[in-house]
Homo-oligomer: A and B are copies of this chain.
């Protein structure tokens, strides 16, 4: 699973939560990619056992896919809050940066960041995470 693939999985996860269903075209619109690009990516993810396509083109994450998505999403939130708390940037900027960093950060550093959050609750006071996360 590489950066781009993680973006797809995460987007499917988020759209599922937001709308209750996800089709390829929804992912395409959300990410600003062509339907063709998404179609191919979905094929790859199906081959990797991360999702299935149901009747009517509805995408459903498998157990593995769900797990993967949650892991990425967790990094996403952790990093967004971390950047807002330390760098004091707005939610939108924090999210865009988090969205790129989440694919490349080492597990060790992320772990440290979570520890930092616990040890410095005061810095996190009053930061308002966006109610809804976008994906790019």
- Using a CB–CB cutoff of 8 Å, the interface residues on chain A facing chain B are 82-83, 86-89, 93-94, 96-97, 100-101, 104-106, 108-113, 115-116
Contacts and interface: CB of A to CB of B under 8 A. Distances in A.
B113 A93 contact: no
A24 B88 CA distance: 41
Contacts of A89: 106, 108-109, 112
Nearest to A100: B104
Which secondary structure characterizes the binding site on chain A? helix
B86 A113 contact: yes
Top 9 A-B pairs, shortest CB-CB distance:
A87-B112, A100-B104, A86-B116, A97-B109, A87-B109, A87-B113, A89-B112, A88-B112, A89-B109
Given A86-B113, A86-B116, A101-B101, 19 more contacts: A86-B112, A87-B109, A87-B110, A87-B113, A87-B116, A88-B112, A88-B115, A89-B106, A89-B108, A89-B112, A93-B109, A94-B109, A97-B105, A97-B106, A97-B109, A100-B104, A101-B104, A101-B105, A104-B104
